[in-house]
Amino acid sequence: MTALVSLLLPTRGRPGLARRFLESAAAQSDQPELIEAVLRVDDEDPQSHGLGAEGIAVRTIVGPRASMGEYNTACLRGARGDIVALVNDDVVIRTQGWDTRLRELDGSFPDRIYLAYPNDLYKRRSVCTFPILSRRTCELLVDAFPAEYRGAFIDYHLLDIFRRLEHASSRRVIYLEDVVFEHMHFRTGKGAWDATYGERDRFGDDDCFIRLRDRRSAQAAVLLAAISGSGPQRVRDVPQQSVGVLRATLFDPELPGSWRTRLFLWLLVRLIARRLFARGAPA
């Protein structure tokens, strides 16, 4: 198995954490020569410009502040791998041979259409915190990591697309429970709160996720066509639309019932929390 694995790593203000991640990726791999890390760093963060790790190739893309979607898209464009994984700088890879497992998974899908994710020891099975995709899947989606997402929801966006495939009787979501990418998030007590966490708008992408419902529908349709071999299709240019939370969740006929209910309740709880935080915010 010779598939190159590309780790897409946006990072800002955390050179020590990013270096720790890179070193863990190299140390725990079976074939470090077949791994590359593509970093997207801000031009105003020079301490992160020269990061590297012995054993794996590291490529750094420097640019102005941007959204998380733009960061990951830039990393993807700069990557050469057949398999891509979205990762954070506050992650440590714990599983020896993680790269072999990813190559085995990739080889088990002849059409290379899947969404996999590791065990982060935090969210675990519930959400694909660190999505793993083939390059072909990314190419079919065209805009796999929408620029509209400023800091979050890319994982939910991808999972929602693949839940649509599941509802159409094509199960392509794989949870790699035995592959541990430990999320050392401050909420787990494994890391310290810092300015990078503090700058994030916790509820800033909720409305965006709802507005991109029709785009996810179009992306799912393209994947389904590719899986069935019904002919080449391209994702339609679908702009953001105000479809409403019910249309994007409970009343969406393309989604499994369990996913509809979960999304609705989760977004409802977040809406209530957002309003409570807004009321408590200083004038």
pLDDT tens by residue, 141-155: 999 999 999 999 999
Domain that holds residue 40: 1-283
**39 in helix, strand or coil?**
strand
CA distance 213 to 234: 17
Q: Domain holding 71: CATH number?
A: 3.90.550
Mean pLDDT for the chain overall: 93
Q: What's the rounded mean pLDDT across residues 85-89? A: 97
Q: pLDDT confidence of 281, banded at 50, 70, 90?
A: low
Q: How confident is the model at residue 13 (pLDDT cuts 50, 70, 90)?
A: very high
- pLDDT score, position 282: 45
Cα 118 from Cα 219, distance rounded (Å): 23
The reported pLDDT for the residue numbered 199 is: 81
90-105 pLDDT, tens digit per residue, is 999 999 999 999 999 9
- Identify the pLDDT of residue 134: 98
Query: How many domains, in total, are found in the chain?
Result: 1
Distance CA 148, CA 152 (A): 10
What pLDDT, on a 0 to 100 scale, did the predictor assign at position 280?
61
CA distances from 162 to 187, 209, 242 (A): 28, 15, 22
Q: Look at residue 14 and tell me whether its pLDDT is greater than 70.
A: yes
- Going by pLDDT thresholds of 50, 70 and 90, the confidence category of residue 86 is very high
